[in-house]
Amino acid sequence: MITYTEYVTFNTKSRYEILDITPEVERVRAKAGLNDGIILVTAMHITASVFVNDHEAGLWKDIMTWLEELAPRKPDYRHHETGEDNADAHLKRMLLGHQVVVPVTGGKLDFGPWERVHYGEFDGMRPKRVLFKALGV
C-alpha cells in the first residue's frame, strides 16, 4: 500500500486567478509510484478552490463572471466588520468546492476527455498551500 503526501505552494499574480494544476497531480502520482488508487487534491486555504473542468480560456472567463454574479466583491458583507475584505472569496470557494479526488488506473490519471484539475484563487497574491495525498498501490 502506498501513502504519499506532498504540500505545494502557489502564489498567484492577481487576486482572482485559475491555474491548471494537472501537471502537479501527475508529478505527485509519478513521485509516489502510484499505479492504481486515488490522489486527493485539497486547497488548504478558505479563499481558494480545487475543481475539475475543461482547460479553456473562454470557460475560465465564464466561471469567473458567474462567480462574480453570485458572490460579487462589494464592501457591505458582515465578514468585513472584522477588518477583512475578502468575504466574496469565501463564498466563491464554497461554490466551486475545496477538493477533488482523482482516480489513477494503470499508472495514469483516469480522466474523461477534457477533464483537468484546476486551482481557483479568489484572494491571491500571497503564498497558499495545496495538499496532494496519493493512496493505493
For residue 53, give its domain range: 2-136
Residues 6 or more apart whose CB falls under 8 angstroms from that of 83 comprise: none
pLDDT in tens, 40-70: 999 999 999 999 999 999 999 999 999 999 9
The per-residue pLDDT of the chain, averaged, comes to 98
Q: Which residues, 6 or more positions from 21, have their beta carbon under 8 angstroms from its beta carbon?
A: 8, 10, 41, 50, 117, 118, 119, 130
Model confidence over 19-39: pLDDT tens digits?
999 999 999 999 999 999 999
Question: pLDDT tens digits, residue range 106-120?
Answer: 999 999 999 999 999
Residue length of the chain: 137
Residues near 9 by beta carbon (within 8 Å), at least 6 away in sequence: 127, 128, 129, 130
Give the CATH number for residue 46: 2.60.120.460
Query: Which pLDDT does position 33 carry in this prediction?
Result: 98
Instruction: Look up the pTM and report it.
Output: 0.96
Query: How many domains are there within the chain?
Result: 1
- State the pLDDT at residue 63: 98
Question: Which residue reads 502564489 in cell numbers?
Answer: 11
Say if CB 50 and CB 118 are below 8 A apart.
yes
Rounded Cα distance, 83 and 102, in Å: 37
